[in-house]
Structure 1
Amino acid sequence: MVAAPESDSDQSRPLCDRQRIDDSLKEVFEDFHHDTRSLLTRILTTVALLERKIQGAPQEQSLQSIRSNCSQLQMMADNLLEWLGIHSPRGQDTEIDLNREILDAVDRFSGAALMKGIQLEASHPPFPVLARGPQGSVGRILDNLLTNALNHTPEAGHVRIVLEKNENQMSLMVADTGCGIPSEMLEHLFERGGSSPGQSMGPGKGLGLFITRQLARSMGAGIEVESNPGKGSTFRITFPEYPGAPEFPEKSMR
Protein backbone atom coordinates (compact mmCIF):
# COMPACT_ATOMS: atom_id res chain seq x y z
CA MET A 1 0.00 0.00 0.00
CA VAL A 2 1.32 3.42 -0.92
CA ALA A 3 0.95 6.07 1.78
CA ALA A 4 -0.83 9.22 0.74
CA PRO A 5 1.42 12.31 0.72
CA GLU A 6 0.94 14.77 3.53
CA SER A 7 -1.19 17.75 2.66
CA ASP A 8 -0.07 21.32 3.29
CA SER A 9 -2.48 21.50 6.21
CA ASP A 10 -0.93 18.38 7.77
CA GLN A 11 2.56 19.85 7.44
CA SER A 12 1.56 23.18 8.98
CA ARG A 13 -0.31 21.61 11.91
CA PRO A 14 2.80 21.13 14.13
CA LEU A 15 3.70 24.79 13.63
CA CYS A 16 0.19 25.90 14.57
CA ASP A 17 0.23 23.65 17.63
CA ARG A 18 3.59 25.05 18.68
CA GLN A 19 2.29 28.61 18.28
CA ARG A 20 -0.75 27.84 20.44
CA ILE A 21 1.50 26.35 23.12
CA ASP A 22 3.81 29.38 22.99
CA ASP A 23 0.85 31.77 23.23
CA SER A 24 -0.58 29.84 26.18
CA LEU A 25 2.74 29.81 28.01
CA LYS A 26 3.18 33.53 27.46
CA GLU A 27 -0.34 34.23 28.73
CA VAL A 28 0.29 32.13 31.86
CA PHE A 29 3.58 33.91 32.52
CA GLU A 30 2.01 37.34 31.99
CA ASP A 31 -0.61 36.52 34.64
CA PHE A 32 2.08 35.18 36.96
CA HIS A 33 4.20 38.27 36.37
CA HIS A 34 1.30 40.60 37.16
CA ASP A 35 0.40 38.79 40.39
CA THR A 36 4.02 38.48 41.51
CA ARG A 37 4.73 42.15 40.85
CA SER A 38 1.63 43.18 42.79
CA LEU A 39 2.74 41.11 45.79
CA LEU A 40 6.29 42.48 45.65
CA THR A 41 4.98 46.05 45.41
CA ARG A 42 2.92 45.53 48.56
CA ILE A 43 5.92 44.05 50.36
CA LEU A 44 8.14 46.96 49.30
CA THR A 45 5.52 49.48 50.43
CA THR A 46 5.35 47.82 53.85
CA VAL A 47 9.14 47.74 54.10
CA ALA A 48 9.35 51.45 53.25
CA LEU A 49 6.86 52.28 56.02
CA LEU A 50 8.76 50.17 58.55
CA GLU A 51 12.07 51.76 57.57
CA ARG A 52 10.69 55.18 58.48
CA LYS A 53 9.70 53.93 61.93
CA ILE A 54 12.94 52.17 62.88
CA GLN A 55 15.59 54.46 61.40
CA GLY A 56 18.88 53.79 63.15
CA ALA A 57 17.65 50.57 64.77
CA PRO A 58 19.54 47.27 64.24
CA GLN A 59 16.60 45.90 62.24
CA GLU A 60 17.01 48.59 59.59
CA GLN A 61 19.77 46.63 57.84
CA SER A 62 17.52 43.56 57.61
CA LEU A 63 14.76 45.63 56.02
CA GLN A 64 17.22 47.03 53.51
CA SER A 65 18.19 43.47 52.59
CA ILE A 66 14.52 42.53 52.11
CA ARG A 67 13.96 45.60 49.92
CA SER A 68 17.04 44.86 47.83
CA ASN A 69 16.06 41.23 47.26
CA CYS A 70 12.47 42.16 46.36
CA SER A 71 13.76 44.71 43.86
CA GLN A 72 15.99 42.03 42.32
CA LEU A 73 13.00 39.68 42.01
CA GLN A 74 11.01 42.44 40.31
CA MET A 75 13.81 43.03 37.83
CA MET A 76 14.21 39.31 37.11
CA ALA A 77 10.48 38.92 36.44
CA ASP A 78 10.46 42.03 34.23
CA ASN A 79 13.47 40.80 32.26
CA LEU A 80 11.95 37.36 31.67
CA LEU A 81 8.71 38.93 30.45
CA GLU A 82 10.65 41.28 28.19
CA TRP A 83 12.66 38.34 26.84
CA LEU A 84 9.41 36.60 25.92
CA GLY A 85 8.27 39.78 24.19
CA ILE A 86 11.46 40.00 22.14
CA HIS A 87 10.85 36.49 20.82
CA SER A 88 7.22 37.21 19.94
CA PRO A 89 5.94 38.79 16.71
CA ARG A 90 6.81 42.47 16.68
CA GLY A 91 4.03 45.00 17.04
CA GLN A 92 3.61 48.20 15.09
CA ASP A 93 6.20 50.93 15.63
CA THR A 94 5.05 54.18 17.19
CA GLU A 95 6.39 57.70 17.54
CA ILE A 96 8.31 58.10 20.82
CA ASP A 97 8.90 61.40 22.63
CA LEU A 98 12.38 60.91 24.13
CA ASN A 99 12.08 63.96 26.41
CA ARG A 100 8.89 62.55 27.94
CA GLU A 101 10.48 59.12 28.36
CA ILE A 102 13.33 60.69 30.34
CA LEU A 103 11.02 62.66 32.62
CA ASP A 104 8.88 59.58 33.25
CA ALA A 105 11.99 57.54 34.09
CA VAL A 106 13.13 60.17 36.59
CA ASP A 107 9.70 60.00 38.24
CA ARG A 108 9.94 56.20 38.46
CA PHE A 109 13.44 56.13 39.96
CA SER A 110 13.62 59.31 42.06
CA GLY A 111 12.34 57.48 45.14
CA ALA A 112 14.90 54.68 44.83
CA ALA A 113 17.69 57.22 44.30
CA LEU A 114 16.59 59.23 47.33
CA MET A 115 16.53 56.14 49.54
CA LYS A 116 20.11 55.31 48.50
CA GLY A 117 21.32 58.89 48.89
CA ILE A 118 22.13 59.17 45.19
CA GLN A 119 21.57 62.34 43.17
CA LEU A 120 19.55 61.59 40.01
CA GLU A 121 19.65 64.28 37.32
CA ALA A 122 18.33 64.62 33.77
CA SER A 123 19.17 66.95 30.89
CA HIS A 124 17.46 67.18 27.51
CA PRO A 125 16.88 69.73 24.72
CA PRO A 126 14.07 72.28 25.22
CA PHE A 127 12.42 71.15 21.98
CA PRO A 128 10.75 67.84 21.01
CA VAL A 129 13.15 64.99 20.21
CA LEU A 130 11.33 62.11 18.53
CA ALA A 131 12.28 58.54 17.68
CA ARG A 132 10.38 55.60 16.27
CA GLY A 133 10.16 52.06 17.62
CA PRO A 134 8.08 49.51 19.54
CA GLN A 135 5.89 51.06 22.22
CA GLY A 136 7.56 50.96 25.63
CA SER A 137 11.01 50.16 24.27
CA VAL A 138 12.76 53.36 25.42
CA GLY A 139 11.15 53.17 28.85
CA ARG A 140 12.40 49.61 29.27
CA ILE A 141 15.89 50.59 28.11
CA LEU A 142 15.99 53.37 30.69
CA ASP A 143 14.61 51.07 33.40
CA ASN A 144 17.40 48.55 32.82
CA LEU A 145 20.18 51.14 32.62
CA LEU A 146 18.98 53.12 35.65
CA THR A 147 18.52 49.97 37.73
CA ASN A 148 22.05 48.96 36.81
CA ALA A 149 23.43 52.43 37.62
CA LEU A 150 21.69 52.71 41.01
CA ASN A 151 22.74 49.19 42.00
CA HIS A 152 26.41 49.98 41.41
CA THR A 153 26.61 53.58 42.64
CA PRO A 154 27.41 54.20 46.32
CA GLU A 155 25.74 56.67 48.64
CA ALA A 156 26.41 60.34 47.74
CA GLY A 157 27.06 59.29 44.14
CA HIS A 158 25.51 60.71 40.98
CA VAL A 159 23.46 59.21 38.16
CA ARG A 160 22.71 61.38 35.15
CA ILE A 161 20.52 60.95 32.07
CA VAL A 162 21.53 63.12 29.11
CA LEU A 163 19.80 63.43 25.73
CA GLU A 164 21.64 65.19 22.93
CA LYS A 165 20.61 65.82 19.33
CA ASN A 166 22.89 66.75 16.48
CA GLU A 167 22.33 67.03 12.77
CA ASN A 168 22.00 63.31 11.97
CA GLN A 169 21.30 61.40 15.17
CA MET A 170 20.24 61.46 18.83
CA SER A 171 22.29 60.16 21.74
CA LEU A 172 20.77 59.04 25.03
CA MET A 173 23.29 58.55 27.84
CA VAL A 174 23.05 57.14 31.35
CA ALA A 175 26.18 57.95 33.36
CA ASP A 176 27.03 57.03 36.94
CA THR A 177 29.83 57.50 39.45
CA GLY A 178 29.74 53.86 40.53
CA CYS A 179 32.27 51.06 40.74
CA GLY A 180 32.87 50.87 37.00
CA ILE A 181 33.32 47.75 34.88
CA PRO A 182 36.61 45.86 34.42
CA SER A 183 37.86 45.97 30.84
CA GLU A 184 37.77 42.18 30.50
CA MET A 185 33.99 42.23 31.10
CA LEU A 186 33.12 44.91 28.56
CA GLU A 187 33.36 42.67 25.49
CA HIS A 188 30.69 40.26 26.76
CA LEU A 189 28.57 42.70 28.76
CA PHE A 190 25.63 42.72 26.33
CA GLU A 191 25.59 38.97 25.71
CA ARG A 192 22.95 36.73 27.21
CA GLY A 193 24.34 35.62 30.57
CA GLY A 194 26.65 38.63 30.79
CA SER A 195 26.44 40.55 34.06
CA SER A 196 27.70 43.64 35.78
CA PRO A 197 30.37 43.52 38.51
CA GLY A 198 29.17 41.94 41.73
CA GLN A 199 25.97 40.54 40.21
CA SER A 200 25.43 36.87 40.93
CA MET A 201 23.96 34.70 38.21
CA GLY A 202 20.66 32.86 38.43
CA PRO A 203 17.36 32.42 36.59
CA GLY A 204 16.36 35.68 34.94
CA LYS A 205 19.66 37.38 35.69
CA GLY A 206 22.19 38.27 33.04
CA LEU A 207 19.30 39.32 30.79
CA GLY A 208 19.02 43.04 31.56
CA LEU A 209 21.78 44.39 29.33
CA PHE A 210 21.19 41.71 26.70
CA ILE A 211 17.56 42.84 26.49
CA THR A 212 18.65 46.49 26.43
CA ARG A 213 20.78 45.82 23.36
CA GLN A 214 17.95 43.89 21.67
CA LEU A 215 15.51 46.73 22.33
CA ALA A 216 17.98 49.28 20.97
CA ARG A 217 18.46 47.18 17.84
CA SER A 218 14.69 46.97 17.39
CA MET A 219 14.77 50.76 16.94
CA GLY A 220 17.77 50.72 14.61
CA ALA A 221 19.91 52.14 17.44
CA GLY A 222 23.36 51.18 18.64
CA ILE A 223 24.61 50.84 22.21
CA GLU A 224 28.08 51.22 23.66
CA VAL A 225 29.63 51.63 27.08
CA GLU A 226 32.64 53.49 28.41
CA SER A 227 33.85 52.63 31.88
CA ASN A 228 36.62 53.56 34.26
CA PRO A 229 36.90 51.07 37.16
CA GLY A 230 36.43 52.87 40.45
CA LYS A 231 35.03 56.00 38.79
CA GLY A 232 31.90 55.01 36.92
CA SER A 233 30.34 54.03 33.60
CA THR A 234 28.49 55.72 30.75
CA PHE A 235 26.05 53.82 28.54
CA ARG A 236 25.22 55.52 25.25
CA ILE A 237 22.29 54.69 22.95
CA THR A 238 22.62 56.26 19.50
CA PHE A 239 19.34 56.55 17.60
CA PRO A 240 19.15 57.16 13.85
CA GLU A 241 17.55 60.39 12.71
CA TYR A 242 13.77 60.13 12.62
CA PRO A 243 12.52 61.65 9.32
CA GLY A 244 9.20 62.65 10.88
CA ALA A 245 10.81 64.73 13.64
CA PRO A 246 10.42 68.53 13.46
CA GLU A 247 13.42 70.70 12.72
CA PHE A 248 14.76 72.59 15.74
CA PRO A 249 18.08 74.16 16.69
CA GLU A 250 20.41 71.51 18.08
CA LYS A 251 21.96 73.61 20.82
CA SER A 252 20.58 74.83 24.17
CA MET A 253 19.97 72.16 26.75
CA ARG A 254 17.59 72.42 29.67
Structure 2
Amino acid sequence: MEIIVFLSVVIAVLAMLISIFLVQRVKKQITEMTDALMDVKSGNGNRRILSVANELVAPLAYEINEIVVSYERRLSIVRQTEETNRQLMTSLSHDVRTPLTTLIGYLDAAHKGMVTGKDRDDYIEIARRKAHDLKEYIDILFDWFKLNSNEFALEIQSVEAAELTRNILIDWIPIFEDKQIGYDIDIPEQPVRVKMDMDSYMRIINNLIQNVITHSHADKIKIMLSKKENNMELLLADNGMGIEKEDLKHIFERLYKCDKGRSEKGSGLGLSIVHQLVEKMGGNIAVESVPGEGTEFILFFPLEY
Protein backbone atom coordinates (compact mmCIF):
# COMPACT_ATOMS: atom_id res chain seq x y z
CA MET A 1 0.00 0.00 0.00
CA GLU A 2 2.80 2.41 0.90
CA ILE A 3 4.49 1.68 -2.43
CA ILE A 4 1.29 2.47 -4.30
CA VAL A 5 0.88 5.75 -2.38
CA PHE A 6 4.52 6.62 -3.03
CA LEU A 7 4.17 5.93 -6.76
CA SER A 8 0.99 7.96 -6.89
CA VAL A 9 2.76 10.90 -5.29
CA VAL A 10 5.70 10.56 -7.69
CA ILE A 11 3.38 10.42 -10.68
CA ALA A 12 1.45 13.45 -9.44
CA VAL A 13 4.66 15.40 -8.92
CA LEU A 14 5.95 14.42 -12.35
CA ALA A 15 2.64 15.39 -13.92
CA MET A 16 2.77 18.73 -12.15
CA LEU A 17 6.35 19.32 -13.28
CA ILE A 18 5.47 18.40 -16.85
CA SER A 19 2.48 20.73 -16.72
CA ILE A 20 4.63 23.55 -15.38
CA PHE A 21 7.21 22.88 -18.11
CA LEU A 22 4.56 22.86 -20.83
CA VAL A 23 2.96 26.04 -19.52
CA GLN A 24 6.35 27.77 -19.41
CA ARG A 25 7.13 26.49 -22.91
CA VAL A 26 3.79 27.73 -24.25
CA LYS A 27 4.30 31.12 -22.53
CA LYS A 28 7.72 31.40 -24.14
CA GLN A 29 6.34 30.52 -27.55
CA ILE A 30 3.49 33.02 -27.18
CA THR A 31 6.06 35.66 -26.28
CA GLU A 32 8.05 34.73 -29.39
CA MET A 33 4.89 34.94 -31.49
CA THR A 34 4.10 38.36 -30.06
CA ASP A 35 7.63 39.57 -30.83
CA ALA A 36 7.40 38.16 -34.36
CA LEU A 37 4.03 39.83 -34.99
CA MET A 38 5.36 43.15 -33.68
CA ASP A 39 8.32 42.74 -36.05
CA VAL A 40 5.93 42.08 -38.95
CA LYS A 41 3.84 45.09 -37.92
CA SER A 42 7.01 47.20 -38.07
CA GLY A 43 7.53 46.19 -41.69
CA ASN A 44 9.58 42.99 -41.61
CA GLY A 45 7.46 40.79 -43.86
CA ASN A 46 10.16 38.09 -43.94
CA ARG A 47 9.76 37.23 -40.24
CA ARG A 48 8.42 33.73 -39.53
CA ILE A 49 7.46 31.85 -36.35
CA LEU A 50 9.43 28.64 -35.82
CA SER A 51 7.73 25.68 -34.20
CA VAL A 52 8.18 21.91 -34.03
CA ALA A 53 5.30 19.94 -35.54
CA ASN A 54 4.36 18.09 -32.31
CA GLU A 55 4.18 21.20 -30.12
CA LEU A 56 0.86 22.48 -28.80
CA VAL A 57 1.12 25.85 -30.48
CA ALA A 58 2.38 24.47 -33.82
CA PRO A 59 -1.00 24.77 -35.64
CA LEU A 60 -1.35 28.37 -34.43
CA ALA A 61 2.24 29.19 -35.49
CA TYR A 62 1.72 27.74 -38.96
CA GLU A 63 -1.56 29.61 -39.37
CA ILE A 64 0.06 32.90 -38.37
CA ASN A 65 2.88 32.27 -40.85
CA GLU A 66 0.32 31.72 -43.61
CA ILE A 67 -1.42 34.97 -42.68
CA VAL A 68 1.90 36.85 -42.76
CA VAL A 69 2.78 35.40 -46.18
CA SER A 70 -0.65 36.33 -47.53
CA TYR A 71 -0.35 39.81 -46.04
CA GLU A 72 3.09 40.28 -47.61
CA ARG A 73 1.79 39.20 -51.03
CA ARG A 74 -1.07 41.69 -50.84
CA LEU A 75 1.26 44.41 -49.64
CA SER A 76 3.56 43.69 -52.58
CA ILE A 77 0.62 44.05 -54.99
CA VAL A 78 -0.34 47.36 -53.37
CA ARG A 79 3.23 48.62 -53.71
CA GLN A 80 3.34 47.59 -57.36
CA THR A 81 0.03 49.33 -57.98
CA GLU A 82 1.28 52.50 -56.30
CA GLU A 83 4.44 52.41 -58.41
CA THR A 84 2.39 51.85 -61.57
CA ASN A 85 0.12 54.77 -60.71
CA ARG A 86 3.17 56.94 -60.07
CA GLN A 87 4.64 55.98 -63.44
CA LEU A 88 1.30 56.59 -65.12
CA MET A 89 1.10 60.08 -63.67
CA THR A 90 4.65 60.77 -64.86
CA SER A 91 3.71 59.41 -68.28
CA LEU A 92 0.57 61.53 -68.35
CA SER A 93 2.58 64.62 -67.55
CA HIS A 94 4.92 64.03 -70.47
CA ASP A 95 2.85 62.15 -73.03
CA VAL A 96 -0.30 64.27 -72.73
CA ARG A 97 0.81 67.74 -71.73
CA THR A 98 3.74 67.93 -74.16
CA PRO A 99 1.84 67.03 -77.38
CA LEU A 100 -1.15 69.08 -76.19
CA THR A 101 1.09 72.13 -75.78
CA THR A 102 2.55 71.56 -79.25
CA LEU A 103 -0.92 71.08 -80.73
CA ILE A 104 -2.14 74.35 -79.23
CA GLY A 105 0.98 76.07 -80.58
CA TYR A 106 0.28 75.01 -84.17
CA LEU A 107 -3.41 75.95 -83.92
CA ASP A 108 -2.65 79.33 -82.34
CA ALA A 109 -0.15 80.10 -85.08
CA ALA A 110 -2.74 79.30 -87.75
CA HIS A 111 -5.54 81.13 -85.92
CA LYS A 112 -3.54 84.32 -85.31
CA GLY A 113 -2.35 84.56 -88.91
CA MET A 114 1.31 83.93 -88.03
CA VAL A 115 1.41 81.56 -91.01
CA THR A 116 -0.55 81.83 -94.25
CA GLY A 117 -1.20 79.93 -97.44
CA LYS A 118 0.39 76.49 -97.72
CA ASP A 119 2.24 76.91 -94.40
CA ARG A 120 -1.10 77.45 -92.65
CA ASP A 121 -2.53 74.34 -94.27
CA ASP A 122 0.57 72.37 -93.21
CA TYR A 123 0.22 73.61 -89.62
CA ILE A 124 -3.43 72.55 -89.50
CA GLU A 125 -2.57 69.12 -90.92
CA ILE A 126 0.20 68.65 -88.34
CA ALA A 127 -2.21 69.68 -85.58
CA ARG A 128 -4.79 67.20 -86.90
CA ARG A 129 -2.27 64.32 -86.81
CA LYS A 130 -1.13 65.23 -83.33
CA ALA A 131 -4.75 65.38 -82.15
CA HIS A 132 -5.33 61.85 -83.46
CA ASP A 133 -2.13 60.62 -81.77
CA LEU A 134 -3.27 62.19 -78.52
CA LYS A 135 -6.72 60.62 -78.80
CA GLU A 136 -5.15 57.21 -79.43
CA TYR A 137 -3.00 57.56 -76.32
CA ILE A 138 -5.94 58.64 -74.17
CA ASP A 139 -8.08 55.76 -75.51
CA ILE A 140 -5.40 53.26 -74.49
CA LEU A 141 -5.08 54.92 -71.10
CA PHE A 142 -8.83 54.66 -70.48
CA ASP A 143 -8.79 51.04 -71.64
CA TRP A 144 -6.09 50.33 -69.08
CA PHE A 145 -7.96 51.94 -66.19
CA LYS A 146 -11.21 50.26 -67.21
CA LEU A 147 -9.53 46.86 -67.52
CA ASN A 148 -8.10 47.14 -64.01
CA SER A 149 -11.26 48.41 -62.35
CA ASN A 150 -14.07 46.51 -60.68
CA GLU A 151 -16.47 47.79 -63.33
CA PHE A 152 -14.85 45.85 -66.18
CA ALA A 153 -16.90 42.94 -67.47
CA LEU A 154 -16.67 40.84 -70.62
CA GLU A 155 -19.68 39.97 -72.74
CA ILE A 156 -18.69 36.47 -73.81
CA GLN A 157 -20.77 35.10 -76.68
CA SER A 158 -20.52 32.75 -79.63
CA VAL A 159 -18.77 34.61 -82.45
CA GLU A 160 -17.96 33.78 -86.06
CA ALA A 161 -14.34 34.89 -85.79
CA ALA A 162 -13.39 34.68 -89.47
CA GLU A 163 -16.00 37.21 -90.58
CA LEU A 164 -15.39 39.41 -87.52
CA THR A 165 -11.64 39.48 -88.21
CA ARG A 166 -12.28 40.29 -91.86
CA ASN A 167 -14.50 43.23 -90.91
CA ILE A 168 -11.91 44.58 -88.47
CA LEU A 169 -9.10 44.41 -91.03
CA ILE A 170 -11.12 46.17 -93.77
CA ASP A 171 -10.66 49.46 -91.89
CA TRP A 172 -6.89 48.95 -91.74
CA ILE A 173 -6.31 48.41 -95.47
CA PRO A 174 -6.45 52.15 -96.40
CA ILE A 175 -3.98 52.83 -93.57
CA PHE A 176 -1.60 50.13 -94.84
CA GLU A 177 -1.78 51.60 -98.32
CA ASP A 178 -1.32 55.16 -97.07
CA LYS A 179 1.78 54.16 -95.12
CA GLN A 180 3.03 51.96 -97.98
CA ILE A 181 2.94 48.78 -95.94
CA GLY A 182 2.44 45.66 -98.00
CA TYR A 183 -0.15 43.32 -96.54
CA ASP A 184 -0.95 39.63 -96.89
CA ILE A 185 -4.28 38.69 -95.31
CA ASP A 186 -5.33 35.05 -95.26
CA ILE A 187 -8.71 34.29 -93.67
CA PRO A 188 -10.64 31.09 -94.46
CA GLU A 189 -14.07 31.23 -96.07
CA GLN A 190 -15.50 28.54 -93.79
CA PRO A 191 -16.85 29.67 -90.38
CA VAL A 192 -14.59 29.66 -87.32
CA ARG A 193 -16.70 29.76 -84.19
CA VAL A 194 -15.18 30.95 -80.92
CA LYS A 195 -16.60 32.23 -77.64
CA MET A 196 -15.25 35.72 -77.00
CA ASP A 197 -16.02 39.35 -76.30
CA MET A 198 -16.26 41.11 -79.67
CA ASP A 199 -15.11 44.55 -78.47
CA SER A 200 -12.13 43.05 -76.65
CA TYR A 201 -11.14 41.01 -79.71
CA MET A 202 -11.31 44.16 -81.82
CA ARG A 203 -9.12 46.00 -79.33
CA ILE A 204 -6.58 43.14 -79.35
CA ILE A 205 -6.19 43.20 -83.14
CA ASN A 206 -6.14 47.00 -83.31
CA ASN A 207 -3.48 47.25 -80.59
CA LEU A 208 -1.27 44.63 -82.27
CA ILE A 209 -1.50 46.29 -85.69
CA GLN A 210 -0.95 49.75 -84.21
CA ASN A 211 2.11 48.37 -82.42
CA VAL A 212 3.51 47.23 -85.79
CA ILE A 213 2.84 50.56 -87.47
CA THR A 214 4.18 52.66 -84.62
CA HIS A 215 7.22 50.72 -83.50
CA SER A 216 8.39 48.04 -85.93
CA HIS A 217 9.36 50.18 -88.96
CA ALA A 218 8.05 47.31 -91.11
CA ASP A 219 6.99 47.60 -94.75
CA LYS A 220 5.21 44.22 -94.83
CA ILE A 221 2.63 42.68 -92.53
CA LYS A 222 1.03 39.24 -92.67
CA ILE A 223 -2.21 38.31 -90.92
CA MET A 224 -3.41 34.71 -91.11
CA LEU A 225 -6.33 33.05 -89.34
CA SER A 226 -6.55 29.25 -89.22
CA LYS A 227 -7.73 26.25 -87.23
CA LYS A 228 -5.05 24.29 -85.38
CA GLU A 229 -6.31 21.21 -83.54
CA ASN A 230 -8.82 22.56 -80.98
CA ASN A 231 -7.84 26.21 -81.33
CA MET A 232 -8.34 29.16 -83.57
CA GLU A 233 -4.91 30.58 -84.36
CA LEU A 234 -4.34 34.17 -85.46
CA LEU A 235 -0.86 35.01 -86.71
CA LEU A 236 0.26 38.60 -87.05
CA ALA A 237 3.79 38.92 -88.43
CA ASP A 238 5.92 41.79 -89.71
CA ASN A 239 9.35 42.20 -91.31
CA GLY A 240 10.36 45.08 -89.07
CA MET A 241 13.33 45.72 -86.84
CA GLY A 242 12.44 42.95 -84.41
CA ILE A 243 12.77 42.85 -80.63
CA GLU A 244 15.88 42.00 -78.65
CA LYS A 245 15.78 38.76 -76.62
CA GLU A 246 16.03 40.57 -73.28
CA ASP A 247 13.18 42.93 -74.18
CA LEU A 248 11.05 40.03 -75.40
CA LYS A 249 10.85 38.65 -71.83
CA HIS A 250 9.10 41.82 -70.66
CA ILE A 251 7.08 42.71 -73.77
CA PHE A 252 3.68 42.25 -72.09
CA GLU A 253 4.55 44.04 -68.85
CA ARG A 254 2.69 47.28 -68.17
CA LEU A 255 4.57 50.48 -68.98
CA TYR A 256 7.51 48.50 -70.40
CA LYS A 257 9.17 50.09 -73.39
CA CYS A 258 11.97 48.43 -75.31
CA ASP A 259 15.26 50.26 -75.49
CA LYS A 260 14.98 50.36 -79.26
CA GLY A 261 12.01 51.20 -81.38
CA ARG A 262 9.42 51.64 -78.62
CA SER A 263 10.93 54.29 -76.39
CA GLU A 264 10.37 57.21 -78.71
CA LYS A 265 6.61 56.91 -78.79
CA GLY A 266 3.75 55.10 -77.09
CA SER A 267 2.32 54.50 -73.66
CA GLY A 268 3.84 51.12 -72.89
CA LEU A 269 0.30 49.88 -72.16
CA GLY A 270 -0.92 48.57 -75.51
CA LEU A 271 0.62 45.09 -75.39
CA SER A 272 -0.13 44.74 -71.68
CA ILE A 273 -3.81 45.40 -72.48
CA VAL A 274 -3.65 42.80 -75.26
CA HIS A 275 -2.17 40.19 -72.90
CA GLN A 276 -4.79 40.80 -70.21
CA LEU A 277 -7.71 40.72 -72.63
CA VAL A 278 -6.52 37.48 -74.23
CA GLU A 279 -6.19 35.78 -70.84
CA LYS A 280 -9.57 37.07 -69.62
CA MET A 281 -11.19 35.46 -72.67
CA GLY A 282 -9.51 32.10 -72.00
CA GLY A 283 -6.94 32.41 -74.78
CA ASN A 284 -3.15 32.52 -75.01
CA ILE A 285 -0.68 34.76 -76.79
CA ALA A 286 2.89 34.02 -77.80
CA VAL A 287 5.55 36.19 -79.42
CA GLU A 288 8.68 35.35 -81.37
CA SER A 289 11.15 37.83 -82.78
CA VAL A 290 14.51 37.99 -84.52
CA PRO A 291 16.27 41.38 -84.40
CA GLY A 292 16.59 42.78 -87.90
CA GLU A 293 14.14 40.26 -89.38
CA GLY A 294 10.76 40.81 -87.76
CA THR A 295 8.26 39.76 -85.10
CA GLU A 296 5.37 37.30 -84.88
CA PHE A 297 2.45 37.49 -82.47
CA ILE A 298 0.31 34.33 -82.31
CA LEU A 299 -3.10 34.27 -80.64
CA PHE A 300 -4.87 31.07 -79.59
CA PHE A 301 -8.56 30.80 -78.68
CA PRO A 302 -10.41 27.52 -78.03
CA LEU A 303 -12.79 26.57 -80.83
CA GLU A 304 -16.47 26.19 -80.06
CA TYR A 305 -18.04 22.87 -81.06
Q: What's the TM-score, normalizing by structure 2?
A: 0.55
Unaligned runs of 5+ in 1: 1-42, 44-56, 244-254
Distance 2:160 2:216 in 1: 28
Distance 1:63 1:229 in 2: 37
Q: Which residue of 1 aligns with 2:146?
A: 85
Asked if 1 retains the 8 angstrom alpha-carbon contact of 2:192 and 2:303, the reply is: no
Distance 1:60 1:200 in 2: 30
**Pair 1:139-2:163 in alignment:** no
Q: Which residue of 2 aligns with 1:127?
A: 190
Alpha-carbon offset, residue 201 of structure 1: 7.2
Distance 1:61 1:116 in 2: 18
Alpha-carbon offset, residue 72 of structure 1: 3.0
After TM superposition, list the pairs within 5 Å mapping 1:72-221 onto structure 2.
Answer: 72-86=133-147, 87=149, 88-154=151-217, 157-196=219-258, 197-200=260-263, 205-221=267-283
Alpha-carbon offset, residue 195 of structure 1: 2.7
Between the aligned residues of both structures, percent identity stands at 31
The more displaced of 70-79 and 113-122 is: 70-79
C-alpha spacing 1:201/1:149, structure 2 compared with 1 (3 Å): closer
Q: Which residue of 1 aligns with 2:34?
A: none
Q: Which residue of 2 aligns with 1:250?
A: none
2:221 maps to a residue whose letter is V
SS at match of 2:133: helix
Q: What's the TM-score, normalizing by structure 1?
A: 0.65
Asked if 1 retains the 8 angstrom alpha-carbon contact of 2:238 and 2:295, the reply is: yes
Distance 2:134 2:209 in 1: 16
C-alpha spacing 1:186/1:78, structure 2 compared with 1 (3 Å): same
Asked if 1 retains the 8 angstrom alpha-carbon contact of 2:166 and 2:187, the reply is: no
SS at match of 1:136: helix
1:82-109, Cα deviation, whole Å (9 max, x unpaired): 2233222414312222212321222221
Asked if 2 retains the 8 angstrom alpha-carbon contact of 1:179 and 1:230, the reply is: yes
1:79 maps to a residue whose letter is I
Equivalent pairs counted in the alignment come to 187
SS at match of 2:190: coil
1:7-60, Cα deviation, whole Å (9 max, x unpaired): xxxxxxxxxxxxxxxxxxxxxxxxxxxxxxxxxxxx9xxxxxxxxxxxxx9999
Distance 1:62 1:123 in 2: 39
Q: Which residue of 2 aligns with 1:3?
A: none
2:143 maps to a residue whose letter is E
Alpha-carbon offset, residue 154 of structure 1: 3.9
1:124 maps to a residue whose letter is I
Distance 2:212 2:122 in 1: 21
Alpha-carbon offset, residue 219 of structure 1: 1.1
Distance 2:294 2:129 in 1: 21
Alpha-carbon offset, residue 61 of structure 1: 8.9
Q: CA RMSD in A?
A: 2.9
The more displaced of 72-81 and 207-216 is: 72-81
Alpha-carbon offset, residue 67 of structure 1: 6.1
C-alpha spacing 1:230/1:131, structure 2 compared with 1 (3 Å): same
2:142 maps to a residue whose letter is L
**Pair 1:237-2:299 in alignment:** yes
Asked if 2 retains the 8 angstrom alpha-carbon contact of 1:150 and 1:159, the reply is: no
